[in-house]
Amino acid sequence: MPKAGAEALLDAGDPFARDLLDVLQLICPAPSLVNGELPPGDRAILRPDDGSTAEPGIMRTTTSGIDLRFFFKYDVDPEGGYLRIQTSTIGLSLTPSGRCLLRVEYDREKGPDQPDAHVHVDADGALWGKALTLSGQPLRPLHTLHIPAGGRRFRPTMEDFVEFLLRGRFVTPTSDGWRDVLRAKRREWEERQARAAARRHEFAVADTLRGLGWTIHPPPEGGPVDPDGR
């Protein structure tokens, strides 16, 4: 019997939480997550189990003074029953100031004036100030700019962020095999995103598969309509 309500919601988040832990274990001594329901019961959140309720939560890395701040707010796609991220934040912050130097954010409901997936960088930049002035804008901190980052479907992931921390030597890896772990987890993510993209662009997918020699049949009458008329 299919599960309903909060139980189904939290079950949908469990595989994602396990994948996150596999990645977080590469840079954090003892990562632990909270997978909790949010009122009114149609969304849930994944965050560090740091004893607080702040969003985002804080997780210590293997480098003293450097923390990972993140949370993922999700629901279940009513069309296919898949976990669907609504908003997320992944950031690099300093202790004890709490200043977040870099964060990757995603907001499915951001609106038309700002990109769904974007990056914030906290830094001092005279050249950025000049660019704002030349374009007739008031001066403002660099971290307030929303730098587009891949859109809804191909936005940066925790795997990408952890790879940045490791390749940049900000954090010491807990395992010599971290590249293999990230490669495997990224492959799983890409497959999930490819399936999701296929549901939105099925005619383009069908054309591509035909070009590769597959035999593709259209769905029965009454199925989806090709937006390009093909």
CA–CA dist 90, 180 (Å, integer): 22
CA–CA dist 127, 52 (Å, integer): 38
Asked, for residue 228, whether it belongs to a domain, the answer is no
Q: DSSP letters along 109-142, please?
A: T--TTS-SEEEEE----HHHHHHHHHTT-----G
CA–CA dist 110, 30 (Å, integer): 33
* Sign of the dihedral through C-alpha 139, 142, 146, 150: positive
Asked, for residue 39, whether it belongs to a domain, the answer is yes
**Domain that residue 114 falls in:** 5-175
Asked, for residue 150, whether it belongs to a domain, the answer is yes
The pLDDT value given to residue 1: 31
Asked, for residue 192, whether it belongs to a domain, the answer is no
The pLDDT value given to residue 11: 87
Model's pTM, two decimal places?
0.82
Overall average pLDDT of the 167-192 stretch: 93
In the predicted model, is pLDDT for residue 227 greater than 70?
A: no
Overall average pLDDT of the 4-24 stretch: 86
Number of domains into which the chain is organized: 1
Asked, for residue 81, whether it belongs to a domain, the answer is yes
